Structure formats: C-alpha cells, structure tokens
Amino acid sequence: MSDEDMATVETAPVKGTVLTWHRNSGVLEAFSKELQLRCLVRNEVNPAPYVRHENEVVYSELAGKKGVNIQGPPYMPREFPIGIWNIVGLLNKEDEYEAPIFISTDAKQELPVWEVLQKDKLYYVRATDQTIIDTGYGLHNSTSSTTLGCGRIIERDINHHENLMFLVYSIGKILEARETIQLEVVGD
C-alpha cells in the first residue's frame, strides 16, 4: 500500500501565511526565498542503504497520565504527509537530530502497526491490520541525512543554522502576533 493510500489527510483550510514545500523536489518556498528541505526516511519502501536496521524499531507514543507519553506499538516511519498543516510552535531541542529548534506542526497520518520479533535483537516482521495515528512532524536541522518523517533543513554549514534561524525568526514573528501560518506539502 502506498504512502498516499495509508495517509489520513485531514488538512486545515488555507488561511494566513502559507509556506509551500515541494516534497519530492526538496524545495521549500518561504518568505520570498527557496530553501532546500529534504525528507529521506529509512524504511522497507526505500532502497538500501536507507533500510532500517534490525535494532532500530520505532515505537509510537501514546498519551499517558498527567501529559507524560508512554511507549505505544511499533510502526514503520513514513514521509511527511501531503496536505496543508498548521505550524503550531517553535520548540528548543538539545538532541543532535532536532537541535537547536524544532518547527512543530499538527501534521498527522494513519500508519499500520508492525509485528516485531525478539531474537537477539528486535526485527520488523510485517505490517498488521491495526493502525496508529502518527504525529510529531516538523522541520529541523539534523546531523543525520535521514529523519523519521520530518523535513530536514539543508544548511551550507550545519554548525551555523542559517536557514533554520531565518525560518524561526520569520515564523516566530507570525506566531507572536497570534496569526495563522501553515505549511502546504505537495508531492509534485
């Protein structure tokens, strides 16, 4: 089943400022600039060397008590879903894969739960008929060339975050004014 078939796209109506990401070509049109934004996900669909290693099973997160997330069932990551999504915040991050700032959206898609097998390590076996709603999609820098579905902002120098900071400043002004800003993701 294709990503488009699996996606439950409940997009927002277009309003306010809209950034357009041509996901397949890797171009983000934002504030009169064109930036490079990639979404390369290691999974069973993408050819080697981008397949998931057996010890890299990815788990969903479920809302737990008092706002603390708990580990949910395993799933196979997919690309950022096509659609129009609200940009909802700017989050400070410290890990090497999302630091220093994560541009958060309300993007989501329905994905199958995967069966895993425990031997010496965990292994993906097959997709099941159960599904989860995958959330947590955003835009960020990363020391890795792949993501779990987010858009990775391409920088000339990963240590300077020039493109990320341009987006953070521009988006921050709109969010501070309590205006709507959206990300339109097209497959072109």
- Which domains, ranges and CATH numbers included, belong to the chain? 3-51+78-111+135-186 (2.40.440.10)
Model's pTM, two decimal places? 0.86
Query: CA angle, 147 as apex, 146 and 149 as ends, to 5°?
Result: 130
Mean pLDDT of 163-178: 95
pLDDT on residue 11: 57
- CA 62, distance to chain mean position in Å, is 17
Mean pLDDT of 84-112: 94
* Residue 19, phi then psi, degrees to nearest 5: -95, 140
Q: What secondary structure letter does DSSP report for 65? A: G
pLDDT on residue 154: 93
Confidence category of residue 1, pLDDT binned at 50, 70, 90 = very low
Mean pLDDT of 64-70: 73
